[in-house]
């Protein structure tokens, strides 16, 4: 039974909800400040970080844990990557400049936080959203839409802009006054940086570059291309993961090549699961390349010439390439494509 907004819980014979909140924490400054403010207002706070599989930035989880430690907030890390794929594949509210489905993403995350809120016996969810900070997902209508579509309504609280937004559950309960929330608005980060010093937020990830790889132009191009080839419904977690690595080329409607750009990517490509050719260079330093899809002799040779362009083989000198698939190895001798070969540009998906 829900208590009416103006009716005290004890008059209904119900225990008062716990003064406890779940705070979504991304590793950024705003979400850490929102959690910190909630704690300073006397609430018990549990931090929640959701790993979508599309996050960028090294050590994001470590950052959230360090913030939790500094603020005296326990943090839960939750892998939601399987469920999140559906959000990326079929956003209801469109995408941003890249393939980023920001509104659906926010709704999904807040809904997840709502589930954790129930599990934790908490009463509301806190996010670091700031009114007017991001054009697509943080204007007033968008914030209201997320509250409505997530099902949380007034139990979704944005403490950094709380004074500028509608009433919240903690206010209705008489736990806080309207003035306890902040009135931060817009893109400037000045006030947040001052508060970070004042409240002792030790580390935070930088907003530059964005919080997820779906914002990136090159990744978005690769994803669009793959959707054209396979159709969005058949894309797997591995398909999305492979789009993170290497230079991508399209050799035919059903044939792609991915060429590693450095040792880290080469290692990742070598261990990539699935049925494809793995190209390598036994005689000279060179990249690892995967050839995926329908691969005949002609495509394999073209892929080897292309990959050889990124090896240390001299221009025009034939080089040996090993192509492995299903435990079988094929040896090819190819002349590396010239650096100014127009095919390089034409075949590149993510240029």
Q: Please say which residue, 106 or 222, places its beta carbon nearer to ligand SF4.
A: 106
Give the alpha-carbon dihedral of 65, 48, 116, 89, to 10 degrees: -130
Q: Please say which residue, 99 or 337, places its beta carbon nearer to ligand SF4.
A: 99
Q: Of the candidates 130, 147, 215, 295, which one interacts with ligand SF4 according to CB under 6 A? A: 215
Buried b (16+ CB within 10 A) or exposed e, 169-195: bbbebebbeeebbbebbeeeeebbeeb
Q: What's the CA gap between 344 and 151, in Å, rounded?
A: 49
**Shortest CB 205 distance to ligand SF4, Å:** 12
**Shortest CB 32 distance to ligand SF4, Å:** 16
**Shortest CB 120 distance to ligand SF4, Å:** 23
Per-residue contact string for residues 103-142; x = within reach of ligand SF4 by CB under 6 A: --xx------------------------------x-----
Strands 247-252 and 328-334: unpaired
> Does residue 100 interact with ligand SF4 by CB under 6 A?
yes
> Does residue 24 interact with ligand SF4 by CB under 6 A?
no
Residue tagged 């040996």 (tokens):
320
- Which region, judged by CB under 6 A, interacts with ligand SF4, from 186-194, 212-220, 257-265, 303-311? 212-220
Q: Please say which residue, 128 or 287, places its beta carbon nearer to ligand SF4.
A: 128
- Which region, judged by CB under 6 A, interacts with ligand SF4, from 57-65, 98-106, 298-306, 319-327? 98-106
Q: List CB contacts of 59: < 8 A, sequence separation 6 or more.
A: none
- Which region, judged by CB under 6 A, interacts with ligand SF4, from 27-35, 143-151, 208-216, 275-283? 208-216
Chain centroid, CA 174 distance in Å = 36
> Does residue 306 interact with ligand SF4 by CB under 6 A?
no
Read out DSSP for 162-195? GGGS---HHHHTTSS-GGGS---BSS--HHHHHH
> Does residue 25 interact with ligand SF4 by CB under 6 A?
no
**Shortest CB 207 distance to ligand SF4, Å:** 10
Residue 319 tokens, joined: 């080089």
Residue tagged 């396979």 (tokens):
230
* Rg, the chain, Cα only: 25
**Contacts with ligand SF4, residue ranges (CB under 6 A):** 100-102, 105-106, 137, 210-212, 214-215
């Amino acid at each position: 039974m829900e208590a009416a907004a103006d009716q005290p819980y004890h008059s209904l014979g119900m225990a008062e909800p716990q003064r406890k909140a779940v705070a979504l924490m991304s590793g950024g400054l705003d979400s850490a400040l929102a959690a910190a403010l909630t704690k300073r207002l006397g609430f018990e706070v549990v931090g929640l970080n959701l790993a979508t599989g599309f996050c960028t930035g090294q050590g994001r989880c470590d950052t959230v844990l360090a913030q939790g430690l500094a603020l005296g907030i326990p943090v839960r890390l939750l892998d939601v990557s399987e469920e999140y794929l559906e959000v990326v594949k079929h956003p209801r509210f469109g995408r941003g400049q890249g393939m980023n489905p920001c509104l659906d993403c926010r709704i999904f995350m807040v809904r997840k936080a709502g589930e954790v809120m129930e599990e934790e016996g908490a009463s509301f969810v806190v996010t670091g959203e700031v009114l007017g900070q991001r054009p697509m997902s943080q204007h007033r209508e968008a914030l209201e839409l997320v509250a409505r579509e997530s099902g949380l309504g007034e139990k979704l609280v944005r403490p950094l802009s709380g004074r500028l937004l509608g009433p919240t559950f903690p206010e209705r309960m008489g736990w806080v006054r309207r003035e306890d929330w902040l009135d931060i608005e817009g893109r400037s980060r000045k006030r947040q940086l001052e508060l970070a010093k004042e409240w002792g937020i030790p580390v935070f990830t930088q907003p530059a570059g964005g919080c997820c790889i779906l914002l990136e132009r090159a990744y978005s191009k690769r994803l669009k291309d793959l959707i054209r080839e396979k159709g969005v419904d058949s894309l797997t977690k591995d398909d999305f993961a492979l789009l993170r690595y290497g230079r991508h080329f399209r050799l035919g409607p059903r044939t792609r090549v991915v060429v590693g750009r450095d040792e880290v990517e080469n290692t990742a490509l070598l261990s990539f699961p699935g049925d494809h050719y793995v190209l390598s260079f036994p005689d000279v330093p060179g990249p690892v390349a995967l050839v995926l899809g329908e691969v005949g002799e002609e495509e394999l040779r073209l892929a080897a010439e292309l990959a050889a362009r990124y090896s240390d083989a001299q221009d025009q000198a034939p080089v040996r390439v090993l192509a492995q698939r299903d435990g079988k190895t094929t040896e090819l001798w190819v002349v590396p494509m010239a650096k100014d070969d127009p095919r390089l540009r034409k075949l590149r998906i993510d240029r």
